[in-house]
């Protein structure tokens, strides 16, 4: 156990150490300051702007910025959908894979454009190398870049005073991909190749297993896809079992690198926020709130898995290993729990163990983290502006409780900002709960379940929580590749990504036009430990109470039933 605790503590220390490094670098990039890569990349950046006709000095009102985001994402969807439907006619298809069905192509295209990367398919048996690279791989960069660009625009709205523009979407997107995602992923991909991850254009290899059976082992451009899927919190794997596959995750070092990448940019954005609002205490307060929730959830998941299955208590099995069902022996409970918490806290969705095989309370935590709104570090960019939404609510509620003026960073929080915040929260919550409710009563929904009882309900809730919050992980017993679920989950992904994003841009646009008032004795401090505690309470109360009835009928009911000796 002490070895597990040391590993988990080491991971947390690495994230704390890297946060100001990546956060400071991103601040320089988005501020247009010179970086170490500027001599090489600045000319490339200029050529891109010239080709697409963008003036980097031009700013966009929040409505134009949101319109550019939606238009760019729509074009991305159309291109990716076409690639998936025509992959049998396109090159780099050594396995001769057929095109995707219309409903699966719709779901997959929406999934990767919204940075969800939900996969209703097995990657190695469905996608050609061309689809993996030109389709999914490209969107891994672009959808991550969109989230990062929107986050920077929203920060400008919070930081600026009496301004009408939030920057240029196309400039922010270009800098996100060119200066941040591409260089880091290039180095990471080379390291992963060194660790044993394949990177080639070969087809499947036929091998004989130890038992003498014939098996086809897929290979292809895996390392390049793997690096960006983690750094960009995309999560979609080349293989069906994702990073539980030894080709995607061959060594302890590859495992550590990937799980650090999952959190890296989301954590770094808190530092970037502090730098851009010119008060680093504000950034560290956001980091502290995220960190406290993360550590508590990590400890709870580890405890739930290490105590093992009570039904095995009287059997001659090694209980010291904990619940090892669905886990790689080489990863064990600690690294499986860490990955499960990181991937659902950070809107990544990749896995190195099967969440469907976790203990009921161990599986509850990933659902809980997703339904908080993916704000605990969260997706690249989206985690920050999701947390800022709760900051506005905390400031407003805290101000009402103590009779202080609801202000954040010197700006009054008024009815417009609160209404937009509530709208954003309601849209995602309704998508999760309504989608789950319909799927629990319609035969088209229940036909996809592997298990009955509360675990079957958990499979449904997990799926719609994952889609609506743009995560992408799943309880693997849930068969989602049906016309009903591919369509319903796709709609939830669109609502969770673009309605929430547009509402936050509207809030930023409103705040950008306001004056910054001086701090007075009536101003609620938002950088203190007291405020961090208040913020955590507001998050847990608002979102926890929203989803508690669903959790009570699913994983919590299963937990008590299991300890009473009942299975489903």
Q: Which residues pair with 412 in a beta bridge?
A: 407
Average pLDDT, stretch 522-531? 89
Q: Which residue has the higher pLDDT, 525 or 173?
A: 173
pLDDT at 508: 97
Question: Would the pLDDT of 315 be above 80?
Answer: no
Question: Would the pLDDT of 319 be above 70?
Answer: no
* Among 164, 166, 126, 131, CA closest to 149: 166
Average model confidence (pLDDT) across the chain: 94
pLDDT at 73: 98
Q: Which residue has the higher pLDDT, 504 or 520?
A: 504
* pLDDT digit string, tens, across residues 545-568: 899 999 999 999 999 999 888 887
pLDDT at 400: 83
φ, ψ dihedrals at 467, nearest 5°: -70, -50
φ, ψ dihedrals at 205, nearest 5°: -110, 130
Give ∠ CA 130-133-135 in degrees, rounded to 5: 80
Question: Would the pLDDT of 320 be above 70?
Answer: no
Kindly state the DSSP code that residue 538 receives in the 8-state scheme. H
Q: What is the dihedral of CA 89, 91, 94, 96, to 10 degrees?
A: -10
pLDDT at 1: 76
* pLDDT digit string, tens, across residues 244-280: 999 999 999 999 999 999 999 999 999 999 999 999 9
Q: From the CB of residue 78, how many other CB atoms can be counted at a distance below 10 Å?
A: 12
* Among 75, 57, 58, CA closest to 67: 75
Query: Which range, of 140-144, 333-337, 403-407, averages the lowest pLDDT?
Result: 403-407
pLDDT at 316: 56
Q: Where would I find the beta strands (DSSP E) of 391-538? A: 407-408, 411-412
Residue with tokens 């090892």: 324
* pLDDT digit string, tens, across residues 359-401: 999 999 999 999 999 999 999 999 999 999 999 999 999 888 8
Percentage of the chain beyond pLDDT 90 is 86
pLDDT at 141: 97
* pLDDT digit string, tens, across residues 83-123: 999 999 999 999 999 999 999 999 999 999 999 999 999 88
Question: Would the pLDDT of 317 be above 60?
Answer: no
Give ∠ CA 181-183-186 in degrees, rounded to 5: 100
* pLDDT digit string, tens, across residues 181-230: 999 999 999 999 999 999 999 988 988 888 888 888 889 999 999 999 99
Percentage of the chain beyond pLDDT 70 is 99
Whole-number Å distance between alpha carbons of 250 and 252: 7
* pLDDT digit string, tens, across residues 340-355: 999 999 999 999 999 9
Average pLDDT, stretch 24-39? 95
| pTM confidence score | 0.95
Residue with tokens 């992923």: 185
Q: Do the beta carbons of residue 514 and residue 159 sit within 8 Å? A: no
Which residues contact residue 88 at a Cβ distance below 8 angstroms, ignoring those fewer than 6 apart?
A: 96, 97, 98, 99
Domain ranges of the chain: 19-251
Whole-number Å distance between alpha carbons of 222 and 207: 19
Whole-number Å distance between alpha carbons of 114 and 191: 28
Whole-number Å distance between alpha carbons of 251 and 335: 12
């Amino acid at each position: 156990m002490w070895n597990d605790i040391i590993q988990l503590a080491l991971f947390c220390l690495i994230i704390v150490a890297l946060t100001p490094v990546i956060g400071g670098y991103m601040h320089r990039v988005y501020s247009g300051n010179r970086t170490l890569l500027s001599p090489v990349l600045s000319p490339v950046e200029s050529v891109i702007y010239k080709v697409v006709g963008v003036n980097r000095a031009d700013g966009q009102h929040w409505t134009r910025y949101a319109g550019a985001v939606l238009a760019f994402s729509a074009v991305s969807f159309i291109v990716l959908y076409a690639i998936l439907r025509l992959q049998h006619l396109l090159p780099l298809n050594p396995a001769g894979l057929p095109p995707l069905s219309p409903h699966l192509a719709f779901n997959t295209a929406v999934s990767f454009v919204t940075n969800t990367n939900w996969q209703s398919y097995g990657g190695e048996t469905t996608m050609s190398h061309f689809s993996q690279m030109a389709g999914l791989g490209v969107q891994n960069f672009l959808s991550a870049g969109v989230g990062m660009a929107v986050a920077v625009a929203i920060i400008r709205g919070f930081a600026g005073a009496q301004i009408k523009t939030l920057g240029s979407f196309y400039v922010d997107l270009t800098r996100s991909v060119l200066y941040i995602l591409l260089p880091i992923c290039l180095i990471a991909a080379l390291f992963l190749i060194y660790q044993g991850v394949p990177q080639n254009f070969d087809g499947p290899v036929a091998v004989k297993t130890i038992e003498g059976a014939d098996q086809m082992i897929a290979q292809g451009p895996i390392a390049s896809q793997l690096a960006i899927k983690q750094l960009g919190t995309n999560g979609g794997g080349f293989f069906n079992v994702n990073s539980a596959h030894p080709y995607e995750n061959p060594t302890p070092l590859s495992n550590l690198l990937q799980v650090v990448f999952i959190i890296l940019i989301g954590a770094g954005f808190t530092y970037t926020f502090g730098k851009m609002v010119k008060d680093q205490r504000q950034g560290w307060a956001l980091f502290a709130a995220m960190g406290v929730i993360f550590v508590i959830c990590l400890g709870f998941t580890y405890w739930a898995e290490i105590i093992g299955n009570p039904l095995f208590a009287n059997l001659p099995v090694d209980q010291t290993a904990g619940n090892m069902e669905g886990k790689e022996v080489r990863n064990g409970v600690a690294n499986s729990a860490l990955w499960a918490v990181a991937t659902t806290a950070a809107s990544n969705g990749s896995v190195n163990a099967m969440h469907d095989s976790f203990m009921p309370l161990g599986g509850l935590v990933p659902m809980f983290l997703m339904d908080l709104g993916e704000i605990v570090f969260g997706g690249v960019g989206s985690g920050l502006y999701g947390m800022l939404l709760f900051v506005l609510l905390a400031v407003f509620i805290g101000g009402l409780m103590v009779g202080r003026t609801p202000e954040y960073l010197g700006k009054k929080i008024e009815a417009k900002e609160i209404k937009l915040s509530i709208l954003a929260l309601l849209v995602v919550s309704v998508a999760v709960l309504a989608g789950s409710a319909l799927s629990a009563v319609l035969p088209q929904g229940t036909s996809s379940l592997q298990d009955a009882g509360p675990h079957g309900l958990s499979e449904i809730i997990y799926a719609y929580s994952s889609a609506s919050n743009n995560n992408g992980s799943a309880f693997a017993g849930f068969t989602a590749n049906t016309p009903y679920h591919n369509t319903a989950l796709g709609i939830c992904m669109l609502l969770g990504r673009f309605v929430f994003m547009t509402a936050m841009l509207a809030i930023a646009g409103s705040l950008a036009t306001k004056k910054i008032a001086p701090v007075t004795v009536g101003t609620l401090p938002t950088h203190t430990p007291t405020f961090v505690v208040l913020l955590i309470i507001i998050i847990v109360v608002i979102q926890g109470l929203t989803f508690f009835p669903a959790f009570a009928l699913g994983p919590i009911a299963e937990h008590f039933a299991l300890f009473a000796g009942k299975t489903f």
